[in-house]
Amino acid sequence: GAKYPGYRFGLFYIPFFVIFAAAAIMVGLTSHYTYKVLTSGISKTVESKHGAYQFKLINYIIVFLICWVFAVVNRILNAFNLYPYATNLLHTYLSVSHGFYASLVFIYN
């Protein structure tokens, strides 16, 4: 691990950054699409259901982004030999808790 940071970034973090960016783009596209549908003059019944589906869909993606943003920031800082306590703590707590928060979203939805 410590001897080969290039492999670590190339094999794990580059694909992870791609997935992270794709999730952020999906939140934006989903929000834009559902906003466009909601404001296009459809009936109130369909509008309320569509808003509920949008909220449910985006919750999972937002939980993913929140839980992993500190891991990404922490690993970037670690690549420059910086080890701040706050990002290490948030990385450790939130990345491990991702499944827990996803289950809360599942229960809530």
pLDDT in tens, 13-47: 788 888 888 888 987 888 788 777 766 766 566 55
Q: In the predicted model, is pLDDT for residue 62 greater than 90?
A: no
Q: In the predicted model, is pLDDT for residue 86 greater than 80?
A: yes
Q: What percentage of the chain carries pLDDT values higher than 90?
A: 11
Q: Rounded CA gap, 18 and 32, in Å?
A: 21
DSSP string, the chain: --S-HHHHIIIIIHHHHHHHHHHHHHHHHHHHHHHHHHTS---HHHHHHHHHHHHHHHHHHHHHHHHHHHHHHHHHHHHTT---HHHHHHHHHHHHTHHHHHHHHHHH-
pLDDT at 44: 60
Q: In the predicted model, is pLDDT for residue 1 greater than 70?
A: no
pLDDT, mean over the chain:
80
pLDDT at 84: 93
Tell me how crowded residue 55 is: count the other CB atoms within 10 A of its CB: 12
Q: In the predicted model, is pLDDT for residue 93 greater than 90?
A: yes
User: Which residues, including other chains, have CB under 8 Å from residue 40's CB and lie 6 or more apart?
Assistant: none
pLDDT at 2: 65
User: What are the residue ranges spanned by the domains of the chain?
Assistant: 5-108
